[in-house]
Amino acid sequence: MTQIELRGIEKFFGAVQVIHNLNLAIADNEFIVLLGQSGCGKTTTLRAIAGLETIDQGDILIDGKAVQHLKAADRDIAMVFQSFSLYPHMTVFENIAFPLRATRMDSGEVDKSVREVARVLRITELLGKKPSALSGGDMQRVAIGRALVRRPKAMLMDEPIGALDAKLREEMRAEIKRLHIKQGSTTIYVTHDQIEAMSLADRIVIMHEGFIQQVGTPDEVYSHPANLFVAQFVGSPVMNITEASVAEAASLATVTVGDAPAGFEFPSALLSKLNGHAANGGLTLGIRPEGVLVRREAAPGYLPVEAHIIEPLGSFDIVDLKVGSKMLRARTKAGYVAGPGEKVHVRIDPEQAHFFDTASGKSLGVRL
Amino acid sequence: MAAVRTSSEVALNRAAIVAVLVATLIFLAPIYWIASTAFKPKELAVSVPPTVLFQPEVTPFIRLFTKRVQMQKPVDPQVYEAAPWWEKRIYDGGERVLKVGKDVQLSQYPNRFMNSLIVAVISTVLAVGMGTFTAYGFSRFKVAGEADLLFFILSTRMLPPVVVAIPMFLMYRMVGLNDSHIGLIILYVAFNLSFSVWLMKGFMDEIPKEYEEAALVDGYTRMQAFFKIVLPEAATGIAATAVFCFITAWNEYAFALIMTNRRAQTAPPFIPSQIGSGLPDWTTIAAGTFLFLLPVAIFTFLLRNHLLRGVTFGAIRK
């Protein structure tokens, strides 16, 4: 049972503020992912929780107890580093046993605990080896084993699989998920990889320049991005973001992308939901490529456009479509659009459209 | 890299091997000279041209370790017959071994040799130990004026140490440190410390600080992390630094000559001082020098793997 709460955390490196008034409550057994680009403050936050970094302001509470003045050793938290940080002069067994040796546990107990963890991680046959003899994936299994063996209050993981190659990353991602389901412990996981975040997290915390941008389940941050940063950061291929204007036409609303000659048809309810925001301009439309619908033949509500660049990605293609002077990227079935220059017809799915205030970047919360 | 070597590559490779062999011969020649002289009969040591093939003997070593006097008249045959084999070698040279009662009087060489060992070992341990801690501090913590301090530490090596020999001698005499082990140890630690700090700083910087951080979250204090994680990781650097410090202290001549004369005199000033007493006995001097080479050779040999890794440390990005 471990809850972690961060209250009003501020952190400066010299004159540069790297964390701004950060507040976050993490529930017991929750898998939280801190997601952001490098330098966004996610690793600093993690290190502050671990006790490897001091904070200038605020409280870090573990199970309701402020720990910001405690040494790392006294917080009962385990951490897995991107570099694995296995002690090179010790065997795998000694590496995993190392945290237990700090507790003066008797050696029979140590042996039992290490073997149990090794069994769970399927690394029993590696116990006698030195880290230098291990593959990257096995090194990380050992590092996770070293973190698990002590049954810490919480697990912190700093880009634990970032140094592995793509295939192994996928494998370890599944492994970490399996372990979390099986062992269950409050986990804070730092990554810059949104796919990792989406696949692992109970809740994702998206950070940018030291500020939390949004906290939510993977579905929430994907379907309801709070602002332009989150909209563009989460999801691959990246969401289309473009200036747009809204007008009333017959019983419809039309959304015009940039300076395109014609607008896309939207239900008229859009106008009332935008509540006058359309009139004063400064409106940004966000639409994921799968919300850009493409047909070869003309149909009501579809605008004729020209295909520009086609990126085949195996199971689907990403097609750049020229709408006025703007490009909209659409996701189509593989090979649906034959080649560049082909004339196709395009529509925006109103239900998948997001609207943002251009100036503040904030979502207007308008969904149809 | 092509799997098949071209003929020019083979030729180049052979030339390199020849060059290495030639260099090795040049470097080993003085060692050979000393070693062979140490086992030569006295009269062959100065023969021209130099003798290469000879019956090796250990007489120079016997002379090295004993106090002897020139005999005025030949030795009594009965005494000669009763003497042990090594004593006969001395009689053969027209000398006799000095004795007090039955006990053979040893020369000063063993004592000087011990002095060298004591001073070199203790000063090395101290210099490397202090250097390791200092380097760790500079490497891991924000030290105000770090660059200036490191420069200041290095600046102690910016003039030949012997420049300060006279003032040091006067000060040492004033505080009673001259001709004492501790005095030499302090001096050698002072020389070696800057070197040790700089070398160890490089090694410490190469040890990822995540190792200690991992130990810190694993429940250890920084001091425990230092001893359990950093020190084993720094072993290579410590070994390399220790070899260099030991060689410096072991071979130091000028200060040892000025600061010591009896009690704490080390082997380097002692060995040549033997030239002065009577005819120069090159074989005995060579024997002393040969033995003097051994500790450094053994120490370096034992640590050779560390040393090789040590001097190429950081050259290869992993």
Give the number of domains in chain A. 2
**Where in the sequence is the domain holding A184, given as residue range(s)?**
4-224
A-chain CB neighbours of B208 within 8 Å are 83, 85
Residue A63 maps to a domain:
yes
Residue A116 maps to a domain:
yes
Report whether A180 contacts A33 (CB < 8 A). no
**Confidence tier at A278 by pLDDT (50, 70, 90):** low
In this structure, the dihedral spanned by the alpha carbons of residues A258, A259, A264 and A267, taken in order and rounded to 10 degrees, is 70
* Mean pLDDT along residues A277-284: 74
The number of beta carbons lying within 10 Å of the beta carbon of residue A135 is 11
- The reply to whether A17 and A142 lie within a common domain is yes
User: Quick check: A83 contacting B, CB < 8 Å?
Assistant: yes
Q: Comparing C-alpha atoms, which of B240, B249, B97, B260 is closest to residue B161?
A: B249
Average pLDDT taken over every residue of chain B: 88
Nearest residue in chain A measured CA to CA from B232: A89
Buried-state track B121-149, b at ≥16 Cβ within 10 A, e below 16: bbbbebbbebbbebbbebbbeeeeeeeee
Mutation for A interface: B140, B213, B218, B231, most A CBs within 10 A: B218
- The reply to whether A203 and A298 lie within a common domain is no
Q: Comparing C-alpha atoms, which of B74, B75, B94 is closest to residue B83?
A: B75
Q: What is the CATH number of the domain that holds A219?
A: 3.40.50.300
Q: Comparing C-alpha atoms, which of B261, B252, B257 is closest to residue B292?
A: B252
- The reply to whether A27 and A107 lie within a common domain is yes
- The reply to whether A246 and A180 lie within a common domain is no
Q: What is the pLDDT, as a whole number, of residue B3?
A: 59
- Report the share of chain B in percent with pLDDT over 90: 47
**Confidence tier at B314 by pLDDT (50, 70, 90):** very low
Q: Please provide residue A316's backbone torsions phi and psi, each rounded to the nearest 5 degrees.
A: -150, 170
- The reply to whether A68 and A31 lie within a common domain is yes
Within 13 Å of residue A124, how many CA atoms lie on the same side as its CB? 8
Q: What is the pLDDT, as a whole number, of residue B74?
A: 85
pLDDT digits (tens, 9 = 90+) for A190-232: 999 999 999 999 999 999 999 999 999 999 999 999 999 999 9
pLDDT of residue A143 exceeding 50: yes
The number of beta carbons lying within 10 Å of the beta carbon of residue A156 is 26
User: Quick check: A146 contacting B, CB < 8 Å?
Assistant: yes
- The reply to whether A208 and A279 lie within a common domain is no
Beta strands A186-191; A31-35: pairing state: parallel
Q: Distance (Å, rounded) from C-alpha B65 to C-alpha B108? A: 8
- The reply to whether A62 and A160 lie within a common domain is yes
Strand pairing partners for A16? A13
Mutation for B interface: A98, A104, A110, A139, most B CBs within 10 A: A98
Q: What is the pLDDT, as a whole number, of residue B316?
A: 40
Three-class SS of chain A: CCCEEEEEEEEEECCEEEEEEEEEEECCCCEEEEECCCCCCHHHHHHHHHCCCCCCEEEEEECCEECCCCCHHHCCEEEECCCCCCCCCCCHHHHHHHHHHCCCCCHHHHHHHHHHHHHHHCCHHHCCCCHHHCCHHHHHHHHHHHHHCCCCCEEEEECCCCCCCHHHHHHHHHHHHHHHHHHCCEEEEEECCHHHHHHHCCEEEEEECCEEEEEECHHHHHHCCCEHHHHHHCCCCCCEEEEEEEEEECCEEEEEECCCCCCEEEECHHHHHHCCCCCCCCEEEEECHHHEEEECCCCCCCEEEEEEEEEECCCEEEEEEEECCEEEEEEEECCCCCCCCCEEEEEECHHHEEEEECCCCEECCCCC
Out of A179, A200, A224, pick the residue that ends a domain: A224
Out of A224, A248, A264, pick the residue that ends a domain: A224
Q: Please provide residue B97's backbone torsions phi and psi, each rounded to the nearest 5 degrees.
A: -80, 135
pLDDT of residue B317 exceeding 80: no
Place of tokens 């949104």: A194
B-chain CB neighbours of A73 within 8 Å are 216-221
Sign of CA dihedral B38, B39, B40, B42: positive
Query: Across the interface, do A81 and B210 touch by the CB < 8 Å criterion?
Result: yes
Query: Across the interface, do B217 and A102 touch by the CB < 8 Å criterion?
Result: no
Q: What is the CATH number of the domain that holds A348?
A: 2.40.50.140
Residue A362 maps to a domain:
no
- By mean pLDDT, which of A22-36, A252-266, A268-282, B197-211 is the weakest? A268-282
A60, A109, A253 from B214: Cα distances, Å: 20, 22, 58
Closest partner residue to B216 (CB to CB) among A52, A83, A88 is A52
pLDDT digits (tens, 9 = 90+) for A74-132: 999 999 998 888 998 899 999 999 999 988 888 999 999 999 999 988 899 999 999 98
- The reply to whether A211 and A327 lie within a common domain is no
Q: Distance (Å, rounded) from C-alpha A59 to C-alpha A1? A: 19
pLDDT of residue B315 exceeding 70: no
- The reply to whether A141 and A64 lie within a common domain is yes
- Report the share of chain A in percent with pLDDT over 70: 98
Strand pairing partners for B209? none
- The reply to whether A110 and A180 lie within a common domain is yes
Report whether B172 contacts B259 (CB < 8 A). yes
pLDDT of residue B276 exceeding 70: no
Q: What is the pLDDT, as a whole number, of residue A268?
A: 86
- The reply to whether A166 and A248 lie within a common domain is no
Residue A164 maps to a domain:
yes
Residue A177 maps to a domain:
yes
Place of tokens 């002393």: B288
User: Quick check: A188 contacting B, CB < 8 Å?
Assistant: no
The number of beta carbons lying within 10 Å of the beta carbon of residue A76 is 18
The single-letter code of the amino acid at B133 is F
What does the angle CA A151 – CA A153 – CA A159 come to, to the nearest 5 degrees? 90
B-chain CB neighbours of A52 within 8 Å are 213, 216-217
A-chain CB neighbours of B210 within 8 Å are 81, 83, 85
pLDDT digits (tens, 9 = 90+) for B137-167: 999 998 889 899 999 988 888 888 888 889 9
- The reply to whether A176 and A313 lie within a common domain is no
pLDDT of residue B240 exceeding 80: yes
- Report the share of chain A in percent with pLDDT over 90: 62
pLDDT of residue A51 exceeding 90: yes
pLDDT of residue A160 exceeding 60: yes
Q: Does domain B109-311 have CATH number 1.10.3720.10?
A: yes
Contact residues, A window 156-185, toward B, CB-based 8 Å cutoff: 156
Q: What is the pLDDT, as a whole number, of residue B278?
A: 64
Report whether A222 contacts A235 (CB < 8 A). yes
